[in-house]
C-alpha cells in the first residue's frame, strides 16, 4: 500500500516535478525502506548495487568544493562559463577560492534527491518482489495508468491547457497532458506501464486445457466480465490509446518498440492459453486504436520530422549545442540537473525560446555528469542486462511473463530516450525503478511455479 501511495502521489501531482511533491515522497520511501529492510549489496545483485551507489556518490561529489585551479585544469571552460552565465561565485583572475564542480549546487542537490528517491524505490520494490508482492505492484501500475490515461484523454477532448482543467503549471511553455506537464513525459509512463500490465495479464491467463465447444468458450468469456482480467485488458487498451492520442512521435516509437520486445520475449513461453490471450488483447487494442486514434495529427508530426526543421531549430540543433557542452566538460560535467542553465551559454538553437532539456537523455547525462557519472551508469546498464537475461533464462514460473513485460517496458523507454528526457521526471524515475526491480529480483518461490 505504501509504495502504491508514493507512486500515485508523484504521478498525479504533475509527475512529481515540483519539490513539494517529490520531497515528501522521498521521506515516505525511505521510511518504507527502513520498514522492509531491502537486501542492499546482497550477493545476487551486489555489483549493480555498488555501481548504483557509485553513481549517486559521483552526483554528490559534484557539490563538494575543490580548489578552482583543479576545476580549471580538469574542465578549462568551467570558470568562463560561470562568468558568462553570471552564476555565483563570479571571480576575477587572481581571486580563485574553493568552488564545487557543479555550476548550480541547488539544482544538483535536487537531482541527487530524485536519484536517491529512485534508488530507494528500486531496492524496496526488489525486496517486495522477493517476498511475493510482484502482483500487487503491477496492479498498482494498472490502476494508476488507467486513471491517468482517462484524465489525459478527457483533457485532450476538451483542449484544455491546464492540469486537470484548473492547475496552471509553472513551467514555461508547458503543454499538460493528463497528470504530466508534457505529453512526451506522459508517454514515457505509459510505455513502461503497458507491457508490464500486459505481461501480468498473461501470467494470470487460465491454464485449464479441457476441451470446450464454442458455446462453452463464449460463456466462459462472458464470465470474465467484471473480473480482474477484464480490467487489466482495459488498462492496456486505454494506456495505448492515450499514447496514440498524444501525437508524441517518440512515444509512438517507444511503445511500438516495447510491444515488439514483449512479443519476442513472450514467444519463448507461449502456451495455448497465453496464445489465446495475446490474440484477444492485440485484437482489442487494434480495435480501440483504429476506432479512436487521431492519425491525421500523428502523421502530420512525422511529416514535419521527415521534411526537416528550419536552420537553428529542432532537435538536431539542440543536440549540436549539447555536444559542445560535452566537449567542454568531458570529465566532471556541469552538474546533475544543470542542463537548462548550462545550455544558455552555448545556445544557438531555437532562437527566442528557452531550452530546458537536451531532447536526448544520453546527451544530457553526458553534459551534466561527465565521465564521473557516465562510467558507473554505463556499467550499471551492462550489469542489469546480464542479470535480467539470467533471470529470464532461469525463471520457469508464470513470473517470467511479468519479467518479460518489465524488460520490454524498459527497452521501449530507452529507445524513446533518444529523443526525450522523460526519465528525469520523478514519477517516471520511480516507475522505471519498479520495472528494474521486477526484471532482476530473485524469486525464492520459482521452484514452486507460483505467479506473483
Concatenate the DSSP letters of all residues of 12-78 into one string.
HTGGG-SHHHHHHHHHHHHHHHHHH---TT-TTTHHHHHHHHHHHHHHHHTTS-EEHHHHHHH-TTH
The share of the chain scoring above pLDDT 90, in percent, equals: 44
Q: Which three cell numbers stand for residue 19?
A: 519539490
pLDDT-based confidence at 449, cuts 50/70/90? very low
Burial class of residue 50 in the structure, from the number of CB atoms within 10 Å of its CB (0-12 exposed, 13-18 middle, 19+ buried)? middle
pLDDT-based confidence at 86, cuts 50/70/90? low
Measured distance CA(222)–CA(85) in Å, rounded: 65
Q: Which backbone phi and psi does 63 adopt, to 5 degrees?
A: -95, -5
Check whether 109 has a pLDDT greater than 80.
yes
Q: Indicate the domain borders of the chain.
A: 2-64+100-448
CA dihedral sign, ordered 313, 318, 323, 329: positive
Check whether 217 has a pLDDT greater than 80.
no
Better pLDDT: 297 or 343: 343
Better pLDDT: 295 or 418: 418
32 touches 2 (CB < 8 A): yes
Mean pLDDT of the chain: 83
56 touches 112 (CB < 8 A): yes
Q: CA nearest 61: which of 372, 393, 425, 451?
A: 372
Check whether 447 has a pLDDT greater than 70.
no
- β-sheet bridge partners, residue 99: 66
Q: Compute the average pLDDT of residues 336-351.
A: 85
Q: Compute the average pLDDT of residues 42-47.
A: 80
Q: Which three cell numbers stand for residue 210?
A: 479441457
Highest mean pLDDT among 75-79, 219-223, 259-263, 443-447: 259-263
- The alpha carbon of 427 is separated from its chain's Cα centroid by a whole number of angstroms, namely 8
Q: Compute the average pLDDT of residues 21-31.
A: 95
Q: Compute the average pLDDT of residues 374-399.
A: 90
Q: Which three cell numbers stand for residue 221?
A: 468469456
Check whether 353 has a pLDDT greater than 80.
no
| pLDDT tens by residue, 174-183 | 678 888 888 8
pLDDT-based confidence at 75, cuts 50/70/90? confident
Looking at residue 224, what is its pLDDT? 54
Q: CA nearest 169: which of 356, 336, 313, 28?
A: 356
Q: Compute the average pLDDT of residues 345-367.
A: 84
Q: Which three cell numbers stand for residue 172?
A: 514555461
Looking at residue 268, what is its pLDDT? 73
Looking at residue 451, what is its pLDDT? 47
The share of the chain scoring above pLDDT 70, in percent, equals: 79
Check whether 356 has a pLDDT greater than 60.
yes
Looking at residue 70, what is its pLDDT? 84
Residues 6+ apart with CB under 8 A from 335: 62, 63, 100, 101, 102, 103, 104, 105, 107, 108, 111, 342, 368
Q: Compute the average pLDDT of residues 432-452.
A: 74
Better pLDDT: 247 or 289: 247
Measured distance CA(401)–CA(116) in Å, rounded: 29
Better pLDDT: 227 or 110: 110
Q: Compute the average pLDDT of residues 53-66.
A: 92
Report how far apart, in Å, the C-alpha atoms of 189 and of each of 111, 211, 398 are. 19, 40, 24
Measured distance CA(82)–CA(102) in Å, rounded: 10
| pLDDT tens by residue, 146-171 | 999 998 888 877 766 777 777 777 66
Window from 6-15, 20-29, 61-70 with minimum mean pLDDT: 61-70
Looking at residue 450, what is its pLDDT? 46
Looking at residue 270, what is its pLDDT? 67
Highest mean pLDDT among 7-21, 200-214, 346-360: 7-21
Amino acid at each position: 500500500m505504501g509504495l502504491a501511495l508514493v507512486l500515485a502521489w508523484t504521478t498525479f501531482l504533475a509527475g512529481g516535478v515540483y519539490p513539494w511533491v517529490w520531497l515528501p515522497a522521498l521521506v515516505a520511501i525511505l521510511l518504507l525502506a527502513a520498514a522492509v529492510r531491502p537486501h542492499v549489496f546482497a550477493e545476487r545483485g551486489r555489483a549493480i548495487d555498488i555501481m548504483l551507489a557509485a553513481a549517486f556518490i559521483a552526483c554528490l561529489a559534484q557539490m563538494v568544493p575543490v580548489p578552482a585551479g583543479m576545476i580549471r585544469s580538469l574542465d578549462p571552460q568551467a570558470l568562463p562559463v560561470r562568468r558568462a552565465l553570471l552564476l555565483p561565485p563570479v571571480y576575477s583572475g587572481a581571486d580563485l577560492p574553493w568552488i564545487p564542480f557543479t555550476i548550480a549546487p541547488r539544482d544538483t542537490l535536487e537531482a541527487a534527491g530524485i536519484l536517491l528517491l529512485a534508488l530507494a524505490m528500486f531496492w524496496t520494490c526488489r525486496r517486495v518482489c522477493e517476498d511475493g508482492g510482484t502482483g500487487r505492484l503491477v496492479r498498482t501500475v494498472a490502476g494508476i495508468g488507467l486513471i491517468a490515461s482517462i484524465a489525459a484523454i478527457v483533457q485532450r477532448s476538451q483542449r484544455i491547457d491546464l492540469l486537470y482543467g484548473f492547475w496552471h503549471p509553472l513551467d514555461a511553455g508547458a503543454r499538460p497532458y493528463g497528470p504530466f506537464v508534457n505529453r512526451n513525459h506522459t508517454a514515457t509512463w505509459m510505455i513502461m506501464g503497458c507491457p508490464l500490465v500486459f505481461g501480468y495479464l498473461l501470467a494470470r491467463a487460465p491454464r485449464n486445457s479441457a476441451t470446450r465447444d464454442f458455446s462453452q468458450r463464449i460463456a466462459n468469456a462472458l464470465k470474465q466480465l467484471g473480473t480482474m482480467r477484464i480490467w487489466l485488458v482495459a488498462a492496456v487498451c486505454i494506456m495505448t490509446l492515450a499514447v496514440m492520442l498524444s501525437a508524441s512521435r517518440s512515444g509512438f516509437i517507444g511503445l511500438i518498440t516495447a510491444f515488439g520486445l514483449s512479443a519476442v520475449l513472450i514467444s519463448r513461453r507461449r502456451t495455448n492459453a497465453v496464445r489465446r490471450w495475446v490474440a484477444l488483447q492485440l485484437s482489442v487494442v487494434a480495435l480501440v486504436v483504429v476506432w479512436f486514434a487521431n492519425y491525421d495529427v500523428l502523421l502530420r508530426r512525422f511529416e514535419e520530422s521527415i521534411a526537416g526543421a528550419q536552420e537553428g531549430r529542432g532537435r538536431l540543433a539542440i543536440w549540436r549545442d549539447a555536444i559542445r557542452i560535452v566537449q567542454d566538460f568531458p570529465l566532471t560535467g556541469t552538474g546533475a540537473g544543470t542542463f537548462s542553465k548550462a545550455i544558455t551559454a552555448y545556445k544557438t538553437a531555437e532562437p527566442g525560446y528557452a531550452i530546458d532539456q537536451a531532447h536526448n537523455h544520453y546527451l544530457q547525462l553526458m553534459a551534466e555528469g561527465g565521465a564521473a557519472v557516465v562510467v558507473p551508469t554505463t556499467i550499471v546498464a551492462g550489469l542489469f542486462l546480464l542479470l535480467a537475461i539470467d533471470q529470464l533464462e532461469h525463471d520457469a514460473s508464470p513470473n517470467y511473463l511479468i519479467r518479460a513485460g518489465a524488460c520490454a517496458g524498459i527497452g521501449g523507454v530507452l529507445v524513446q530516450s533518444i529523443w526525450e528526457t522523460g526519465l528525469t521526471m520523478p514519477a517516471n524515475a520511480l516507475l522505471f525503478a519498479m520495472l528494474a526491480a521486477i526484471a532482476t529480483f530473485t524469486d525464492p518461490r520459482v521452484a514452486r511455479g507460483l505467479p506473483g
